[in-house]
Amino acid sequence: MFRPALAALFLFATPLQAEVPRIAVDIAPVYGLVEQVLGDLGRPDLVIRPGALPHDFALRPSQAAVLEQADLVIWVGPGLTPWLEDSLETLAGDADQLRLLEVEGTRLLEMREGANFAGHEDAAEHEGEGEGEPDSGSINPHAWLDPENARIWLLAIADALADADPRNARTYLDNAEAAANDLGALVAEVDAQLAPVRDARFVVLHDAYHYFEDRFGLQAIGAIADGEATPPGAARIMELLEGMADGDVACLFYEPQSDINLAYAVLETGLPTASLDPLGMSLLPEPDFYTALIRDMADTALDCLSES
């Protein structure tokens, strides 16, 4: 016997949480944003654990399982993790995807090339899905380090979650709007905090911070390596040292994940160094992880750039 009233009762007696889709995310900063949108309704599954190098990564069986179980995959995009595109096709072919670099309105910057970023002082800007397709090979994929991109992504994440789980749509949108407002305040705060070191010159390990620099008016003068897993050759080191010979370099930033930090030793500059962590590997358990990541980077940058 069909009893619609009882069926309806069961439907609404089911906790909303049971309906929340399984979400896989690529890196910890994206985990932090998705977690804020989910609020109390659940937690995403993180594929690339803090401490691993996203550009250069081998999927373990447990991480493959996360992708297989996902209803929705939220990731930066193949520009950051080219290997993930094939894995998604094989393991998560039925899952929906949100590629954050392709979200409309995302501010995209180019990868600066050469040890001294020569000729890329005013790198061309692109808008996500704007007129004409920018050459994806030249796009700097570390776009999460601009909190204004993160604000736009929060709303895109809420939309994607609402599509997958319409009953909680209102909650996702409310959570995203609250988090986006907090980020607006954070940008103003960090902008004021970093004002005293705006003219400081510094060198980075690889071009991971372009978005952070650009948002807060800082500018690296060069990078020791092309990528976080690509040790520099002698010619590049020479070129970098020549660029630094103009003097007044306040700080060298290295990355906790990278094996090529040792390459800094060959510079033998005696300059202050600091670990500037674009992925927040030591911060992940913190609530409001994304905000903690930006604050941690700002504090580290201010400390080291103020030293000389």
Residue ranges binding Zn ion (CB under 5 A): 208, 228
* Rounded Cα distance, 81 and 74, in Å: 12
- C-beta of 30: minimal distance to Zn ion in Å? 14
With residue 120 as reference, give the H or E element that holds it: none
Minimum CB–partner distance for residue 167 and Zn ion (Å): 38
Which C-beta is closer to Zn ion: that of 72 or that of 111? 111
Residues in Cβ contact with 142 at an 8 Å cutoff, skipping those fewer than 6 apart = 80, 207, 208, 209, 210, 211, 278
Closest distance to Zn ion from the beta carbon of 279 (Å):
9
- Nearer to Zn ion among residue 260 and residue 304 (C-beta): 260
Nearer to Zn ion, 162 or 208 (CB): 208
Distance of closest approach, residue 55 Cβ to Zn ion, in angstroms: 5
DSSP state of 204: E
Question: Would you say 140 or 168 has its CB closer to Zn ion?
Answer: 140
Closest CB to Zn ion among 70 and 276? 276
User: What span, in angstroms and rounded, lies between the C-alpha atoms of 91 and 233?
Assistant: 37
Q: How many helices (H) and strands (E) does the chain have?
A: 9, 10
Q: Please give the residue whose beta carbon sits closest to Zn ion in the complex.
A: 208
* Smallest distance from Zn ion to CB 208, Å: 4
Burial, 252: exposed, middle or buried (Cβ in 10 Å; 0-12, 13-18, 19+)? buried
For Zn ion, give the closer residue by CB, 41 or 252: 252
Terminal C-alpha separation, the chain: 81
Least distance from Zn ion to the Cβ atom of residue 181, Å:
29
List C-alpha distances in Å: 8 to 3, 11, 161, 169, 251: 9, 5, 24, 20, 64
